[in-house]
Amino acid sequence: MAEGIKLAIVGATGAVGQEMLKVLEERNFPVGELICLADPREAGTRLKFKGEEHIVAAATPEAFKAADIALLAVGSDISQMIAPDIVAQNCVVIDNSYAFRMDPEVPLIVPEVNADDIDWHKGIIANPNCSTIIMVVAVNPLHQAASIKRILVSTYQAVSGAGKAGLDELDQHIHAAINGVEPILSVFQHPIAFNVIPHIDVFEDNAYTREEMKMVWETQKIMHAPELRIAATAVRIPVYRSHSESIYIETEKALSPQEARQILADAPGVIVQDDPLHNTYPMPLFSSNRDEVFVGRIRRDISSENGLAMWVAADQIRKGAATNAIQIAEIVSAKNLY
């Protein structure tokens, strides 16, 4: 332990990978050795960490021999392919993709909610979907207090959910709209500048997108609440990096907005921003580059008996991805679970 963790980051040149480097540095994670890996085409890229330059290497199987923990910030197909080999080399995988999240042998972790599930990992730990992480940090404390029966959520998701390519595409589409030229569609199905696209990830047979179903399946798993009923509408909007969510919950026990506000004020990882008369509520622009989940607009759902409405925003790249993964790594490290 004294010498620190030998940490590999796969996908180090991507939006989440680069954010991981920042978060590791900010949180002073006990890095013994840092191994930056990526697609062979990215090999040779230089990245800065704690003032030192690191040269990105190709993510070959041998690269993990020296690593204790590998943070995977790559697509599901790549994770699926490389994770078992990494685990076979006695390196714990914290995977940011969808590949293993619903595997009953793999814990799916949001540290503020189910940190103890890390204890039973068998080599792979999954980092949840960004919209799901943000939602469960905000609703789990209320579930503990009053038992949530049902959640109806509509999201307002930043383009960073589509990685660096998504950020670049919003830039290009904004310039195209202003200058009257054609937007180039590569990651989005339609122009995203001054538009809204109610379509994230592929459509499932039930007419929900996979993004929407992730918010159902993953929330039930993280909160240990298989009976919790959830419906989601996931929407891409022209915002850079923070997701917002309009959430309606129905609880078993009555909970007043004031009680909910108090519970959330005491909850880990949550900042209550709920002073509407001073125009204070969560907004993506002001929750970007922050690690907390911001909650506000807490009020009775006037259409139901035991219902609350609330508005949540948080940085998709940080708490929705990089920060959550590193919080998991911190626990793996502190508990010697590697």
Of 8-16, 197-205, 262-270, 327-335, the window that binds a second copy (rule: CB under 8 A) is 197-205
Nearer Cβ to a second copy, position 99 or 235?
235
Q: How far is the CB of 281 from a second copy (least distance, A)?
A: 5
Taking CB under 8 A as the rule, does residue 302 contact a second copy?
yes
Q: How far is the CB of 228 from a second copy (least distance, A)?
A: 9
Residues 6+ apart with CB under 8 A from 149: 228, 229, 250, 251, 252
Other C-beta atoms lying within 10 Å of the C-beta of residue 256: 11
Number of residues that bind a second copy (CB under 8 A): 57
Q: What letter represents residue 89's amino acid?
A: Q
Q: How far is the CB of 118 from a second copy (least distance, A)?
A: 29
Region label for 326, one of left (φ > 0), alpha (ψ between -120 and 50) or beta (otherwise) = alpha
Name the catalytic one among 36, 91, 130, 143. 130
Taking CB under 8 A as the rule, does residue 147 contact a second copy?
no
Of 64-72, 102-110, 192-200, 329-337, the window that binds a second copy (rule: CB under 8 A) is 192-200
Of 19-27, 29-37, 52-60, 283-291, the window that binds a second copy (rule: CB under 8 A) is 283-291
CA distance 44 to 46: 6
Taking CB under 8 A as the rule, does residue 208 contact a second copy?
yes
- State phi, psi for 133 to the nearest 5 degrees: -55, -50
243 labelled catalytic? yes
Taking CB under 8 A as the rule, does residue 98 contact a second copy?
no
Of 21-29, 49-57, 69-77, 229-237, the window that binds a second copy (rule: CB under 8 A) is 229-237
> Are the CB atoms for 169 and 162 separated by under 8 Å?
yes
Residues 6+ apart with CB under 8 A from 279: none
Other C-beta atoms lying within 10 Å of the C-beta of residue 66: 13
Other C-beta atoms lying within 10 Å of the C-beta of residue 253: 10
Taking CB under 8 A as the rule, does residue 220 contact a second copy?
no
130 labelled catalytic? yes
Which residue, 127, 326, 133, 146, is CA-closest to 242?
133
Q: How far is the CB of 116 from a second copy (least distance, A)?
A: 27
Q: 320: which DSSP letter?
A: I
Beta bridge partners, 226, equal: none
Residue 213, classed as helix, strand or coil, is: helix
> Are the CB atoms for 145 and 257 separated by under 8 Å?
no
Nearer Cβ to a second copy, position 49 or 286?
286
Q: How many CA atoms lie within 13 A of 175 on its CB side?
A: 7
Nearer Cβ to a second copy, position 88 or 185?
185
Nearer Cβ to a second copy, position 108 or 234?
234
CA distance 315 to 242: 4
Selected binder of a second copy within 43, 115, 174, 176 (CB under 8 A): 174
Angle formed at CA 186 by CA 184 and CA 189, multiple of 5 degrees: 95
Nearer Cβ to a second copy, position 115 or 283?
283
Taking CB under 8 A as the rule, does residue 276 contact a second copy?
yes
**Footprint on this chain of a second copy (rule: CB under 8 A):** 150-152, 154, 156, 174, 178, 189-191, 194-199, 203, 206-209, 216, 229-231, 233, 235, 237-240, 244, 246, 248, 257, 276-277, 279, 281-286, 296-304, 307, 309, 311, 313
Active site (catalytic) residues? 130, 243
